[in-house]
């Protein structure tokens, strides 16, 4: 297996770990959305980075899902969610973690659906590269 695919598999494992934390926290209504949805954003970010890694596409240090999705599009990789759909989670990566105001940009249920769709897609994409 190539180092690119090993890195892709590692990132996908990390994405699944973030998904698991998000799934665990999702029903906890007493927790702020900023805390819970951070893990949804991280799961999607790492899944996209896993796909980019599998193709050997450099992505640098970014949490910006819109920028990562643009790299996929430039490379002709089609995602099951549009860049604008996943980008709604961008503020949860950094901005909302350092603010005590909870702004609902997406429901936990909508985020859950996106996370599952992106992780299944990334898993299948990477398996297709092996």
Q: What is the pTM of this model?
A: 0.93
Which residue pairs, CB below 8 angstroms and at least 24 apart, start in 52-55? 53/4, 53/5, 53/7, 53/8, 53/11, 54/4, 54/5, 54/8, 54/125, 54/126, 54/129, 55/4, 55/129
CATH 1.20.120.330 fits 3-129, yes or no: yes
What are 114's two structure tokens?
């996106």
Q: Write out the chain's pLDDT in tens, 130 residues.
A: 899 999 999 999 999 999 999 999 999 999 999 999 999 999 999 999 999 999 999 998 999 999 999 999 999 999 999 888 999 998 888 777 666 677 778 999 999 999 999 999 999 999 998 7
The answer to whether the beta carbons of residues 7 and 56 sit under 8 Å apart is: no
């Amino acid at each position: 297996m190539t180092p690119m695919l090993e890195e892709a598999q590692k990132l996908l494992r990390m994405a699944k770990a973030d998904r698991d934390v998000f799934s665990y926290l999702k029903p906890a209504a007493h927790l702020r959305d900023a805390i819970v949805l951070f893990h949804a954003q991280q799961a999607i970010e790492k899944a996209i980075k896993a796909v980019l890694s599998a193709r050997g596409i450099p992505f640098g240090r970014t949490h910006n899902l819109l920028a990562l999705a643009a790299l996929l599009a430039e490379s002709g990789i089609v995602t099951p969610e549009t860049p604008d759909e996943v980008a709604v989670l961008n503020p949860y990566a950094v901005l909302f973690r350092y603010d005590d105001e909870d702004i609902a940009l997406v429901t936990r249920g909508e985020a859950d659906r996106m996370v599952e769709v992106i992780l299944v897609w990334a898993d299948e994409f990477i398996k297709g590269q092996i």
